Amino acid sequence: MATKSTPRVRVPASAKPGEIIEIKTLISHEMESGQRKDSAGKPIPRRIINKFTAAFNGKVVFEADWNPAISANPYQSFFYKAAEPGEFTFTWKDDDGSEYTAKNKLNVA
């Protein structure tokens, strides 16, 4: 039973130059491993998010490869050293080719 994958991101609205900020992400996703069976006994196809990428002003600043052992609704956090104002683009890629994105601006002053 598939549900709509919804990304949620927390980025501070502003930071001082050189400040290290924490970025928190979470996406609503079932992360089906492909090892379970439905009520008819047929295998449920594998459907996981296998790649997470965070880019700032078009440059990748963090990426992670995920495997079937990742839990449903995966949470990912990381730290970033603010240097200039710009926009983060977060991308989650699914086994079935789906891609989910979220964008957040960061003001550095």
- Taking alpha carbons only, the member of 60, 62, 31 closest to residue 46 is 31
At 29-68, the pLDDT tens digits run 988 888 889 999 999 888 899 999 999 999 999 999 998 8
Tell me how far apart the alpha carbons of residues 87 and 105 are, in angstroms, rounded to a whole number: 4
Tokens of 56: 């700032």
Name the CATH topology of 6-36+46-108.
Immunoglobulin-like (2.60.40)
In the chain, what are the domain boundaries? 6-36+46-108
Amino acid at 57: N
pTM of the model: 0.88
Residue 86 has pLDDT above 90, yes or no: yes
* pLDDT tens figures, 21-35: 999 999 999 888 888
Q: How high is the pLDDT of residue 2? A: 53
Q: How far apart are CA 91 and CA 101, in angstroms?
A: 5
The span from the CA of 91 to the CA of 74, in Å, is: 13
Which are the contacts of 96, defined by CB distance < 8 A and separation ≥ 6? 47
Could you identify the residue written with the tokens 């549900």?
3
> Quick one: pLDDT at residue 105?
97
